Amino acid sequence: MLKPSRIEHVRGVEETAAHLAKKYGADEETCRVAAMLHDCTKRLSLSEQLEICRKYGVETDEMERESPELLHSKSGAAVAKYEFGASDEVIEAIKWHTTGKANMSLTEKIVCLADFIEPSRHFEGLEAVRREAERDLDGALILAFSRTLKHLEEKGVAPHRNTRQALEFLLARR
């Protein structure tokens, strides 16, 4: 289901998620399965993803319906549920891995952060997030969501409200 070039990324997310699971006391197997499946619809076009969402009755918002980048979290969660029989915890982690959201579970946080920091990723500021991930999971997510919002702002792209809410939720608890 993956382009060859995405396999390295997915393996990197899996190993990073397993490492974070051990570090922060989450279930390693659940985190590994969620990581393996998290981008399972990433190679599909927007219309193919919309078809999956229609087929499985997945609710989507206006932004998601226009962006394959956002929609692959929802379509991927549906495929994980209906085609792979994944657990609710895995399904939710896939659903929120791109935007994050307020009040994330430990597994959701781990998969979201692992997707951001896995070893094949390279961009400015990433090393600081990786270092923070070794000492404070929420602190690392704050850096990651802040970086995403800044990056989107620089590109002139409106962020999904869930990302803003994810950051605000974590900041309010510091």
Residues that bind Fe ion (CB under 5 A): 39, 115
At its nearest, how many Å lie between Fe ion and the CB of residue 77? 11
The three-class DSSP label of residue 94 is: helix
At its nearest, how many Å lie between Fe ion and the CB of residue 82? 19
Of 120 and 171, which has the nearer Cβ to Fe ion? 120
Torsion of CA 77, 6, 51, 93, to 10 degrees: 10
Of 108 and 115, which has the nearer Cβ to Fe ion? 115
- Closest-CA residue to 77 (of 27, 114, 41): 41
On whether the CB atoms of residues 144 and 130 are closer than 8 A, the answer is no
On whether the CB atoms of residues 44 and 142 are closer than 8 A, the answer is no
Of 5 and 135, which has the nearer Cβ to Fe ion? 5
At its nearest, how many Å lie between Fe ion and the CB of residue 97? 6
